[in-house]
Amino acid sequence: MQLSIQEQLQHVLQARHNHLMAGNREAMNELLTPNFSFIDGLGRQFDAETYLDHYVDVDLIKWVSSIDESMTVELFETTALVQTLTEDQFQYGTTSYVGRFRIVSLYQLTDTGWKWHFSQATSLDQD
């Protein structure tokens, strides 16, 4: 039985979360498009390599949790717009962080399935 397009996307969203929590760089890299771009809550832009280094490398970051409090998914043929309200908790070096973010992401349907193309996070924490 073949999965629907929506089920395939849901599978990729779950895999992305699992790879992030496990620090699995290789598996996460398989989910990224060649022109992947991520803009964090501080406005810094990362390509695939620097994203994997900064957010997935278990030698640098230890994820405690990443919880989507809400998620909206809109499909447009071969593009999916995913909006989440996310609470992240992680340890970077010896510093612990907890933050809430509104994240907008684009996923692209390719010949090999859904790939993560872009995300921009906006911090909802007040300084």
The domain limits of the chain are 5-124
Which CATH architecture is the domain 5-124 placed in? Roll (3.10)
- Confidence at 67, pLDDT banded by 50, 70, 90: very high
Query: Which of 1, 9, 3 is closest to 77 using CA atoms?
Result: 9
Provide the pLDDT confidence category of residue 2 given band limits of 50, 70 and 90.
confident
CB distance 87 to 123 below 8 Å? no
Q: Which residues contact 40 (CB under 8 A, 6 or more apart)?
A: 46, 121
User: What mean pLDDT is predicted for residues 73-80?
Assistant: 95
* pLDDT for res 104: 99
Note the pLDDT tens digit of each residue in 26-36: 999 999 999 99
